[in-house]
Structure 1
Amino acid sequence: MEENKDVTIYDIAEKLNLATSTISRALQDHPTISKKTIKKVKEMSEKMGYVPNTLAAGLRGNKTKTIGVLIPTITQPFLSSLISGIEITAQKSGYQVIIMQSHDSYEEEVNLTKSLYSNRVSGVISSLAMETRDTSHFDQFTANNIPLVFVDRVPKEYNTFRVIIDNYAAGYKATKHLIEQGCKRIAHITAGAEFGNLYNERKRGYLEALKDFGLETDESLIINLKKVTYEEGVKASNHLFDLKTKPDGIFASGDIIAVSAVQTAKKRGFKVPDDVAVIGFNNDPISQIIDPNISTITHPAEKMGKASAEIILKNIKSPKKEDVREITFLNTEVLVRESSKKIP
């Protein structure tokens, strides 16, 4: 299999119909080149995945047997399990894994994609940062036939591989479970549609379940968080418990939010699940530590990691030249525990 040659200033020059000397000077911010041209050249060089010659000279040749993993953080249990699945599969095929954390920062994610490309990774698996809206910084991989897989937090539109669960079905199941426990006013604490398809689909499942079971949608019961953190969950829970007509059920889009809802309810003197039933999402270890144990939706993280790595390895061996868009749906289920079990 023939490897792609490095992008050179000649390639950029041809693309922009400019002299190579202009490209070279523009990349060095030379004062004889206009700011407009410098901007145009740098944008194109980044899009094409250009690496300066000083670095490229030492990296020229075959790509390393390395898969780059770019995720928001390794501290979330879901993402730790995801990494485990990736590593297990990669190592079996003789590949190493580089793990980088964006800490949910768009700027950091952009910088880390440059670093992964410079390190000549053979493929990239990424779960997007919460701040990310523009995903053009990933073009350097697809433009140079480096397999790219988005997992869990995926962009709404990007023509590459994706590994996700059916978030709509999962949100529907969680809400249906609360309805089956007798809940009539079900709140939903989410991250808001602007943070990507994942939370939007869970919310869509929640709304559809309410509709199917004849319950009205009350916008005051839907809270969009700025960050998915315990502290934000406490604020949201207090807001819900301050309502004149309080919720009798809460579907949280993450277990850490469900934990905050349960603990806030107890501090406010409400019994869980008698006064308010709570269900979370992800089946994080913390969901089984607190009292009462939290009902949750399983999220097959390790399987998703393995599936992502398998796609990368398959496409390293047999790269496809045509546009590819593959979505893998993985089943989820409701784990019923004490926090939502009203009916025996």
Structure 2
Amino acid sequence: MNKEITIYDIAKVVGLSPTTVSRALSNHPRVKENTREKILNTAKNMGYQSNIFASSLRKKRSKSIGVIIPKLNSPFQSSVLAGMEEIATQAGYNLIISQSTESLEKEVSNANTMFNSRVDGLLVSKAGTTDNIEHFAPFFKKQIPVLFFDRVPEDNNCTGVVINNTQAIYDATSHLIKEGCKRIVHVLGNLKINVYSDRLKGYKYALLDHGLAFKEENVITNDLGEESGDRIVEKILKLKPRPDGLLVSNDACAASCLMALKKKKISVPEDIAIVGFNNDLISRMVEPNLSTINYPSYHMGEVAMKNLINHLDDEHQEILQKTNTITLRHELIIRGSSKR
């Protein structure tokens, strides 16, 4: 096994004190530029690796922030992460990212790993099977800030960054009704996830306000993957009378439904009008383009990370305690799939 290179080994090679080498490696202003370059080049050639963990113990800061999300292969979550990364990099923080794969057990394991990795703070979008947040208690006990985004637990004192999902679906449902739709099917994910239960409320409220009856058979809970369209359309076509509006809580799934309807020679929007959710790239790549709810995912990542980092700054220690919910603006974008 190769010997670990230390600052003492580098000091012997360059003929300087270990203190000077240590200062150069941490970019201390008291070290001259030519001396710093000499030390850095020597360290690189010798294969020196800085001991970040030991440094974090001394400083009581790891300069790392943990992120736990349900799925990495999600356009929405990828955009959120991009927003987080931008702000974290500017502030000199690194991200440690993990996915729960919608499993409480995996989320608990991820939280333990983040805690043992001594992250300075934690950002979480909870798994679909997470009913409580007891596994984050070690963070709360040590006053390590935890901020939730998109999927936030109810009845907690943590800051959450969300949109108004109830209002967003209310707007989308109302739009379909104004376009002449009277039999609207709502496709959504697991109703144990409050994001989807809130959207169902918005759908019901819109029907009620426009004098239309709510029918259980017009609510389809399904996997919202891009391959789900054929299964959903088969269910829709069995309904009598046939629905004339389709509201889907995910653009990839909405696009899949659109393609499945076209294969069945059903015209969109003339026969069935469609509205998706998220404003993902795919919504602008299908024909007709999908009407959708713009969910400001990148901005959500920026806002969540800014609030967490501000809390880590000594001047802003009370921010997360004073602000329990940050609600971002959504927007209904009307395109060809629903405009009659």
User: TM (normalized to structure 1)?
Assistant: 0.78
Instruction: Tell me the equivalent position of 1:215.
Output: 212
Deviation for aligned residue 1:146: 0.7
Deviation for aligned residue 1:256: 1.8
Instruction: Tell me the equivalent position of 2:276.
Output: 280
State the alpha-carbon separation in 1 of the partners of residues 82 and 320 from structure 2. 30
Further displaced range: 284-293 or 114-123 = 284-293
State the alpha-carbon separation in 1 of the partners of residues 229 and 118 from structure 2. 40
State the alpha-carbon separation in 2 of the partners of residues 57 and 134 from structure 1. 34
Residues 145-156 of structure 1 aligned to structure 2 (within 5 Å): 145-156=143-154
Residues 84-233 of structure 1 aligned to structure 2 (within 5 Å): 84-195=82-193, 197-225=194-222, 227-233=223-229
Deviations along 1:235-261, whole A, 9 cap, x unmatched? 233111111211100111111221122
User: TM (normalized to structure 2)?
Assistant: 0.79
The alpha-carbon distance between structure 1 residues 321 and 313, as it changes in their structure 2 partners (threshold 3 A), is: closer
State the alpha-carbon separation in 1 of the partners of residues 56 and 95 from structure 2. 18
Q: Does 1:338 align with 2:336?
A: yes
Residues 19-34 of structure 1 aligned to structure 2 (within 5 Å): none
Q: Percentage identity across aligned positions?
A: 38
Instruction: Tell me the equivalent position of 1:4.
Output: none
Question: Which of 258, 265, 273 is equivalent to 1:262?
Answer: 258
Deviations along 1:138-158, whole A, 9 cap, x unmatched? 222112111111100111232
Deviation for aligned residue 1:177: 1.0
Instruction: Tell me the equivalent position of 1:72.
Output: 70
State the alpha-carbon separation in 1 of the partners of residues 226 and 78 from structure 2. 19
Instruction: Tell me the equivalent position of 1:297.
Output: 293
Instruction: Tell me the equivalent position of 1:19.
Output: none
User: Does structure 2 retain, via aligned residues, the 8 Å contact 1:295–1:335?
Assistant: yes
Instruction: Tell me the equivalent position of 2:311.
Output: 315
Deviations along 1:80-124, whole A, 9 cap, x unmatched? 111111111112211111111222222211111111111110111
State the alpha-carbon separation in 1 of the partners of residues 297 and 177 from structure 2. 27
Specify the SS of the correspondent of 2:197: helix
State the alpha-carbon separation in 1 of the partners of residues 324 and 293 from structure 2. 24
Amino acid at match of 2:212: L
State the alpha-carbon separation in 2 of the partners of residues 232 and 155 from structure 1. 28
State the alpha-carbon separation in 2 of the partners of residues 236 and 325 from structure 1. 40
The alpha-carbon distance between structure 1 residues 321 and 248, as it changes in their structure 2 partners (threshold 3 A), is: closer
Q: Tell me, which stretches of 5 or more residues in structure 2 are unaligned?
A: 1-52
State the alpha-carbon separation in 2 of the partners of residues 302 and 341 from structure 1. 27
Deviations along 1:254-299, whole A, 9 cap, x unmatched? 1122112212211222111110000000011111112221110000
State the alpha-carbon separation in 1 of the partners of residues 244 and 317 from structure 2. 52
State the alpha-carbon separation in 1 of the partners of residues 107 and 73 from structure 2. 17
The alpha-carbon distance between structure 1 residues 153 and 238, as it changes in their structure 2 partners (threshold 3 A), is: same
Aligned CA RMSD, in angstroms, stands at 2.0
State the alpha-carbon separation in 1 of the partners of residues 263 and 304 from structure 2. 42
State the alpha-carbon separation in 2 of the partners of residues 324 and 234 from structure 1. 47
Instruction: Tell me the equivalent position of 2:30.
Output: none
Amino acid at match of 2:149: V
Specify the SS of the correspondent of 2:192: helix
Aligned residues: 285
Q: Does 1:237 align with 2:233?
A: yes
Deviation for aligned residue 1:59: 7.0
Question: Which of 233, 239, 247 is equivalent to 2:243?
Answer: 247
Amino acid at match of 2:112: K
User: Does structure 2 retain, via aligned residues, the 8 Å contact 1:190–1:252?
Assistant: yes
Q: Does 1:271 align with 2:270?
A: no
Q: Tell me, which stretches of 5 or more residues in structure 1 are unaligned?
A: 1-55
User: Does structure 2 retain, via aligned residues, the 8 Å contact 1:145–1:319?
Assistant: no
User: Does structure 2 retain, via aligned residues, the 8 Å contact 1:159–1:324?
Assistant: no
